[in-house]
């Protein structure tokens, strides 16, 4: 039995007192200091880990003022803060030991859109892609681009002065910020923007913090101008913290403090919002994807491409796109980046032409492709070009960029313990030196025998490199330091800088060397804003006058030093939880994307794949420190039977008040919310499969505590359901009685129990030519006779609650010239897996797999109707049974139909009149990314038009939506994701592949939606 575990770290009483006082002071946002909340913000995408004292989530700018003002009271004068947005920083910029002020949860308001002037005000927590989605109807967008645009906030983008693809034309964030609204450390709310003349004088004459800031920055910017111009490199990517070069315009004597805030990495003030300028959406966009025989060829060709007046040139090496090929994302680009026959593609350049003059941009693209044709046609082509493809459809362009944007995350999916990590991942050198610089960079990495993937914005000289290191090995931490120092020197040699795009963070220690005598001026700027070193201390610089505090260092405490406390076998076994690298893709705001429904609904980072992985990691570590060997605990559970002693121990643990602080409860809370929809298992670049480690956690957790009563039903539901399905009318009547509903809810924890099918499955089958499979008889048939059959693999739920779908499958198969042989029901076990009954699941999987392997030997296709149940045979079965699972294949309905397209005849024109709308099950879309394309093709073969609808989860996810504890969440997810679809499309033409999804629609809309096979069975 696992022990009770206590979180290691306690909260400083002064901080606790502050949180309590803040609560009493009418702070409208959230104040959280549970261990799980603190852990959720202890990491970002960097290698570092810091546990804060707590997290505050202001609701609005008044909350920020309130929090800062309270912190200026004498008893709280020593309190320190770090602002945080999406937490996607790659160098620990938002990590702190003190208070995290997270402005991303609530401060998401967009206001004062002025379409004519092309400006808008965004609160600090607004996500860039969300803004662009809102203003798209006005033909506008915020142009600086970044890979994390679907989760990074304006607060973070301003503070890191973000930019990316297209930066030569679209610039950096700072170039589009008109004014910044911020709360200073004295609690005042100010707006910084360009000021000159009398207004500037008035600002400087103020006897307050704002006045001091104006005076200090003005004097430095003016007096040190020459030195500033000499020190700041002349690069498209100017650097973060503090931009003394652009803060002052000597020609107009204008001071714009917002330019200092941009790139300050949250070390000067709390940004509450900003007025930004917007750009018209280009009317023309096209891409040329050029393929090369080597990465070097791609790099050396880049300057020629920039000369072609392209918007951007991005280079990707073969390591990165080989990883992309193994990811779900490849499915959307494989036709756009095809292999070149008989050639090895070892690098690509993605060249974009975009603008508002279609003819001009079109001609630019044409002259590039003409020159590529000449290069390809010429004998002795020396550029290493082996082919190219173009795309002009917006959806294709976006698909290529989605692949490119996912590239950093994909690097984290490398095999083995060494993982590509961020610490030299955004160097910049003048573009003309890039190829030579990279050669030396590669030699450096090769001399340490490191693997790496590379890609970058070659038009502006930015290179993204993540060398693979295993930071659980202390020796590799030393390698990190050596390489880091060497890269600083190498970038300096080529006139560049180490932090060219993602900010400085823990690389702040290189600041003094880089800035030389100017560094003291940075410290004076910091002192004007933050003399007490209270906001994001240690980053960028320490305030002038403070000689005790230190800068953060590359050598500071890394996540590896915690992870290495988990035994290596456990790390390997829980690979998914341990390898989450915090890139934050699971915080994607987009409701039509499958990942992650619970995070999107609750806005709580703990309730995301990253949150769940982080808590599991910490739980494994604390288990180990408490002397519990998780793997042997699992083994013991596998081997043990029911024990009265163990039962009474569980009763006692559950009732014992001393156990309320067990950290396992916090982990369970986040696991209970998860729908097990599996979106993370495929959409996360490193395949963090939460349902997998969640089941293992629950298995262990319930070895110590009592399960909810409903779990007993869940465990046996597949056995019991077929018996209940024999008397559907009786059961439906009983289940409809108010007292029964009450007991079902109170005792078992279930609500809205679905109605059983009447007529029953057996009755419906009797009216068809299907037969129940007789293995001996089938074995006796000739191969030709068997070829006429298809085997239907039933699942308990579809057969009992949606029997008509199965009957319709039989009709469809018959129309396609096949006879259906129905397999007897065998437990699938998915529900046991979800509730963490691992031993029972393994047993069910073993027995079912043995039987299915025998049936598979007949050589007749086996088909399942429900996607989640069918995919369980491929996924969970493989994980639990390993090689002993055998080779049996249960096809998804769409897979079988695709294999038999020649048996589908087009329907008459009269029947083909309608358009249908497909809403596929999320597990199916995740594990079978071709689902939409497959069904569209099947319908097209039948002469029918099918439109796939991009929707997130329906909220039902098997039993999840029927549990009392989840029902409100389940309904809310439905209202957010599915309900709007039925406002847009007529429900009678909407189709859903999942039984749970159809059940959820029945519950919420009181209407039936069909499975797509039912349309075919009716119309064919």
The site for ligand FAD (CB under 6 A) is made up of 44-45, 82-90, 93-94, 103, 124, 146-148, 152-153, 155-157, 159-160, 162-164, 265-266, 270-271, 408-409, 501-503, 536, 583
Total chain residues near ligand SF4 (CB under 6 A): 28
Residues 617-646 that bind ligand SF4 (CB under 6 A): none
Binding partner selected for residue 609 from ligand SF4, ligand FAD, none, CB under the kind-specific 5 to 8 Å limit? ligand SF4
Least Å distance, CB 319 to ligand FAD, is 16
Binding partner selected for residue 155 from ligand FAD, ligand SF4, none, CB under the kind-specific 5 to 8 Å limit? ligand FAD
Binding partner selected for residue 610 from ligand SF4, ligand FAD, none, CB under the kind-specific 5 to 8 Å limit? ligand SF4
Compute the distance between CA of residue 1020 and CA of residue 1015 in angstroms, rounded to an integer. 8
- Interface with ligand SF4 includes 959 (CB under 6 A)? no
Least Å distance, CB 847 to ligand SF4, is 26
Q: Containing H/E element for 142?
A: none
Residues 590-609 that bind ligand SF4 (CB under 6 A): 595-598, 609
For the beta carbon of residue 394, count every other beta carbon within 10 angstroms.
10
Residue whose CB is less far from ligand FAD, 285 or 464: 464
Residue whose CB is less far from ligand FAD, 85 or 537: 85
- Interface with ligand SF4 includes 582 (CB under 6 A)? yes
Binding partner selected for residue 266 from ligand SF4, ligand FAD, none, CB under the kind-specific 5 to 8 Å limit? ligand FAD
Compute the distance between CA of residue 832 and CA of residue 810 in angstroms, rounded to an integer. 29
Helix axes 13-24, 61-71, angle to 10 degrees: 130
363 CB contacts (<8 Å, ≥6 apart)? Answer: none
Binding partner selected for residue 674 from ligand SF4, ligand FAD, none, CB under the kind-specific 5 to 8 Å limit? ligand SF4
- Interface with ligand SF4 includes 690 (CB under 6 A)? yes
Least Å distance, CB 413 to ligand SF4, is 9
Quickly list DSSP for 845-862.
Answer: HHHHHHHHHHHHTT---E
425 CB contacts (<8 Å, ≥6 apart)? Answer: 90, 408, 464, 465, 466, 502
Residues 691-710 that bind ligand SF4 (CB under 6 A): 691
Q: Containing H/E element for 66?
A: helix 61-71
Compute the distance between CA of residue 464 and CA of residue 456 in angstroms, rounded to an integer. 5
Least Å distance, CB 173 to ligand FAD, is 8
Tell which residue, 599, 522, 613, has the closest CA to residue 566.
613
Residue whose CB is less far from ligand SF4, 579 or 799: 579
Tell which residue, 719, 730, 866, has the closest CA to residue 798.
866
3-state SS of 367-426 is: HHHHHHHHHHHCCCCCCCEEEEEEECCHHHHHHHHHHHHHHHHHHCCCCCCCEECCCCCC
Residue whose CB is less far from ligand FAD, 55 or 578: 55
Residue whose CB is less far from ligand FAD, 246 or 932: 246
- Interface with ligand SF4 includes 677 (CB under 6 A)? yes
- Interface with ligand SF4 includes 203 (CB under 6 A)? no
Long-range contacts of 638-642 (CB under 8 A, 24+ apart): 638/838, 638/839, 638/842
Stretch that binds ligand SF4, among 127-135, 379-387, 580-588, 890-898 (CB under 6 A): 580-588
Binding partner selected for residue 496 from ligand SF4, ligand FAD, none, CB under the kind-specific 5 to 8 Å limit? none
Tell which residue, 885, 882, 915, has the closest CA to residue 990.
915
Residue whose CB is less far from ligand FAD, 124 or 991: 124
Least Å distance, CB 427 to ligand FAD, is 13
Least Å distance, CB 829 to ligand SF4, is 18
- Interface with ligand SF4 includes 956 (CB under 6 A)? no
* Count of CA atoms in the C-beta half-sphere (13 A) of 583: 27
Least Å distance, CB 301 to ligand FAD, is 22
3-state class (DSSP) for residue 101 = strand
Helices (H) and strands (E) in the chain, counts: 48, 30
Question: Which residue of 684, 800, 946, 973 would you call a contact of ligand SF4, by CB under 6 A?
Answer: 684
Tell which residue, 704, 506, 693, has the closest CA to residue 614.
693
Quickly list DSSP for 152-180.
Answer: -BHHHHHHHT---TTHHHH--GGGGEEEE
Binding partner selected for residue 688 from ligand FAD, ligand SF4, none, CB under the kind-specific 5 to 8 Å limit? ligand SF4
Q: Containing H/E element for 562?
A: helix 559-563
Q: Which residues pair with 453 in a beta bridge?
A: 466
Least Å distance, CB 541 to ligand FAD, is 14
848 backbone dihedrals φ, ψ, rounded to 5°: -65, -45
**109: which DSSP letter?**
-
Least Å distance, CB 610 to ligand FAD, is 11
Compute the distance between CA of residue 588 and CA of residue 952 in angstroms, rounded to an integer. 12
- Interface with ligand SF4 includes 862 (CB under 6 A)? no
Cβ contact 743:749 at 8 Å: no
Binding partner selected for residue 612 from ligand FAD, ligand SF4, none, CB under the kind-specific 5 to 8 Å limit? ligand SF4
Q: Containing H/E element for 453?
A: strand 452-457
What is the distance, to the nearest Å, from the Cα of residue 361 to the centroid of all Cα atoms in its chain?
Answer: 34
- Interface with ligand SF4 includes 963 (CB under 6 A)? no
Question: Distance between terminal CA atoms of the chain?
Answer: 58
**659: which DSSP letter?**
G
The stretches of 424-518 forming alpha helices (DSSP H) are 434-447, 474-493, 511-515
Binding partner selected for residue 684 from ligand FAD, ligand SF4, none, CB under the kind-specific 5 to 8 Å limit? ligand SF4
- Interface with ligand SF4 includes 1004 (CB under 6 A)? no
859: left (phi over 0), alpha (psi -120 to 50) or beta: left
Cβ contact 995:801 at 8 Å: yes
Compute the distance between CA of residue 643 and CA of residue 649 in angstroms, rounded to an integer. 10
Least Å distance, CB 893 to ligand SF4, is 23
Tell which residue, 941, 933, 944, 937, has the closest CA to residue 905.
941
3-state class (DSSP) for residue 919 = strand
Binding partner selected for residue 677 from ligand SF4, ligand FAD, none, CB under the kind-specific 5 to 8 Å limit? ligand SF4
- Interface with ligand SF4 includes 880 (CB under 6 A)? no
Q: Tell me the residue nearest to ligand FAD as measured from the CB.
A: 156
Binding partner selected for residue 84 from ligand FAD, ligand SF4, none, CB under the kind-specific 5 to 8 Å limit? ligand FAD
Question: Which residue of 212, 606, 678, 704 would you call a contact of ligand SF4, by CB under 6 A?
Answer: 678
Binding partner selected for residue 678 from ligand SF4, ligand FAD, none, CB under the kind-specific 5 to 8 Å limit? ligand SF4
Q: Containing H/E element for 769?
A: none
Residue whose CB is less far from ligand FAD, 146 or 963: 146
Residue whose CB is less far from ligand FAD, 529 or 837: 529
Least Å distance, CB 592 to ligand FAD, is 21
Stretch that binds ligand SF4, among 185-193, 377-385, 682-690, 966-974 (CB under 6 A): 682-690
Tell which residue, 836, 838, 933, 830, has the closest CA to residue 872.
830
- Interface with ligand SF4 includes 679 (CB under 6 A)? yes
Place of tokens 């009547």: 733
Least Å distance, CB 742 to ligand FAD, is 47
Stretch that binds ligand SF4, among 62-70, 337-345, 678-686, 769-777 (CB under 6 A): 678-686
48 CB contacts (<8 Å, ≥6 apart)? Answer: 91, 92, 95, 505, 506, 556, 557, 558, 559
Stretch that binds ligand SF4, among 101-109, 116-124, 669-677, 1002-1010 (CB under 6 A): 669-677
Least Å distance, CB 629 to ligand FAD, is 34
Q: Where does this chain bind ligand SF4 (CB under 6 A)?
A: 409, 580-586, 595-598, 609-610, 612-613, 674-680, 684, 686, 688, 690-691
């Amino acid at each position: 039995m696992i022990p009770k575990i206590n979180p290691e770290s306690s909260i400083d009483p002064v901080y606790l007192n502050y949180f309590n006082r803040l609560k009493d002071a009418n702070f409208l946002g959230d104040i959280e200091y549970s261990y799980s909340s603190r852990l959720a913000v202890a990491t970002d995408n960097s290698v570092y880990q810091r546990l804060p004292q707590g997290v505050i989530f202001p609701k609005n700018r008044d909350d920020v003022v309130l929090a800062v003002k309270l912190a200026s009271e004498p008893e709280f004068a020593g309190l320190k803060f770090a602002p945080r947005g999406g937490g996607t920083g790659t160098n620990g910029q938002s990590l702190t030991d003190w208070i995290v002020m997270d402005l991303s949860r609530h401060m998401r308001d967009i206001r004062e859109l002025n379409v004519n002037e092309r400006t808008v005000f965004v609160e600090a927590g607004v996500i860039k892609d969300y803004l662009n989605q809102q203003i798209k109807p006005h033909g506008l967008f915020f142009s600086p681009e970044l890979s994390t645009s679907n989760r990074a906030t304006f607060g973070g983008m301003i503070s890191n002065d973000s930019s990316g693809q297209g930066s030569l034309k679209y610039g950096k964030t700072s170039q589009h910020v008109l004014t910044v609204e911020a709360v200073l450390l004295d609690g005042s709310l100010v707006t910084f923007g360009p000021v000159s003349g009398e207004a500037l004088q008035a600002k400087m004459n103020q006897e307050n913090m704002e006045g001091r800031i104006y005076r200090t920055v003005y004097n430095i910017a003016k007096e040190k101008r020459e030195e500033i111009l000499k020190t700041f490199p002349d690069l498209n990517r100017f650097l973060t913290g503090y931009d003394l070069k652009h803060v002052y315009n000597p020609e107009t004597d204008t001071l714009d403090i917002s330019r200092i805030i941009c790139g300050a990495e949250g070390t000067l003030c709390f940004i509450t919002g900003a007025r930004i300028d917007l750009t018209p959406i280009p009317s023309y966009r096209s891409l040329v994807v050029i393929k090369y025989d080597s990465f070097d060829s791609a790099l050396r060709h880049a300057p020629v491409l920039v000369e072609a007046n392209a918007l951007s040139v991005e280079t990707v090496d073969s390591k990165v796109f080989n990883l992309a090929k193994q990811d779900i994302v490849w499915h959307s680009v494989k036709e756009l980046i095809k292999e070149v026959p008989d050639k090895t593609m070892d690098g690509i350049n993605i060249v974009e032409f975009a603008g508002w003059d279609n003819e001009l941009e079109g001609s630019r693209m044409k002259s590039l492709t003409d020159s590529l044709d000449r290069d390809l046609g010429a004998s002795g082509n020396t550029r290493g070009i082996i082919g190219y493809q173009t795309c002009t459809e917006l959806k294709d362009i976006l698909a290529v960029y989605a692949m490119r944007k996912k590239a950093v995350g994909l690097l984290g999916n490398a095999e083995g313990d060494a993982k590509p990590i961020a610490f030299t991942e955004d160097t910049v050198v003048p573009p003309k030196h890039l190829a030579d610089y990279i050669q030396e960079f590669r030699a450096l990495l090769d001399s340490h025998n490191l693997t790496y993937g590379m890609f970058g914005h070659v038009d502006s000289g930015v290179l993204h490199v993540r060398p693979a290191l295993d930071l659980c090995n202390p020796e590799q931490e030393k390698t990190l330091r050596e390489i880091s120092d060497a890269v600083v020197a190498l970038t300096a040699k080529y006139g560049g800088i180490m932090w060219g795009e993602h900010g400085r963070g823990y690389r702040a220690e290189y600041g003094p060397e880089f800035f030389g005598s100017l560094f003291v001026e940075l410290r004076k700027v910091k002192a004007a804003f933050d003399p007490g070193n209270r906001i994001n201390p240690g980053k960028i610089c320490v305030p002038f006058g403070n000689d005790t505090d230190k800068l953060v260092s590359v050598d500071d405490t890394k996540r590896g030093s915690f992870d290495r406390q988990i035994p290596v076998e456990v790390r390997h076994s829980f690979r998914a939880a341990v390898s989450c690298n915090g890139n934050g893709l699971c915080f994607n705001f987009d409701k039509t994307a499958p990942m992650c429904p619970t995070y999107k609904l609750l806005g709580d980072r703990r309730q995301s794949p990253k949150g769940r992985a982080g808590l599991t990691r910490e739980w494994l570590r604390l288990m180990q420190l408490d002397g519990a060997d998780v793997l042997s605990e699992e083994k013991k559970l596998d081997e043990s039977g029911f024990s009265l002693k163990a039962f009474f121990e569980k009763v006692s643990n559950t009732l014992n008040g001393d156990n309320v602080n067990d950290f396992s409860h916090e982990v369970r809370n986040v696991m209970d919310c998860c729908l097990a929809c599996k979106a993370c298992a495929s959409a996360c670049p490193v395949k963090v499969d939460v349902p997998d480690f969640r089941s293992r956690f629950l298995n262990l957790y319930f070895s110590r505590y009592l399960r909810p009563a409903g779990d007993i039903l869940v465990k046996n539901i597949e056995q019991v359901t077929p018996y209940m399905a024999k008397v559907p009318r009786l059961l439906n009547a009983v289940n409809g009685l108010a007292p029964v509903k009450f007991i079902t809810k109170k005792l078992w924890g279930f609500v809205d129990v679905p109605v059983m099918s009447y007529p029953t499955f057996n009755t419906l089958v009797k009216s068809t030519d299907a037969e129940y499979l007789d293995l001996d008889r089938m074995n006796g048939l000739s191969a030709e006779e068997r070829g006429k059959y298809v085997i239907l693999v039933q699942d308990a739920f579809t057969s009992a609650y949606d029997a008509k779908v199965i009957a319709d499958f039989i009709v469809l198969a018959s129309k396609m010239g096949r006879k259906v042989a129905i397999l007897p029901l065998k437990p699938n076990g998915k529900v046991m897996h979800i509730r963490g009954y691992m031993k029972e699941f393994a047993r069910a999987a073993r027995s079912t797999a043995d039987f299915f392997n025998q049936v598979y030997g007949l050589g007749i296709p086996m088909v399942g109707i429900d996607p989640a149940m069918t995919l369980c045979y491929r996924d969970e079965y493989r994980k639990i049974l390993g090689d002993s699972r055998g080779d049996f294949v249960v096809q998804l309905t769409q897979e079988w139909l695709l294999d038999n397209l020649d048996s589908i005849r087009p329907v008459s024109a009269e029947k083909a009149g309608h358009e249908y709308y497909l809403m596929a099950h999320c597990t199916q879309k995740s594990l079978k990314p071709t689902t939409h394309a497959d069904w569209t093709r099947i319908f097209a073969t039948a002469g029918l038009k099918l439109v796939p609808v991009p929707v997130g989860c329906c909220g039902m996810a098997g039993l999840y939506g029927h549990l009392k504890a989840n029902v409100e969440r389940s309904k809310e997810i439905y209202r957010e994701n599915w309900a709007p679809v039925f406002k847009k499309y007529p429900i009678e033409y909407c189709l859903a592949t999942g039984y749970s999804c159809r059940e959820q629609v029945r519950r919420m809309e009181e209407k039936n939606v069909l499975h797509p096979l039912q349309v075919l069975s009716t119309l064919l």
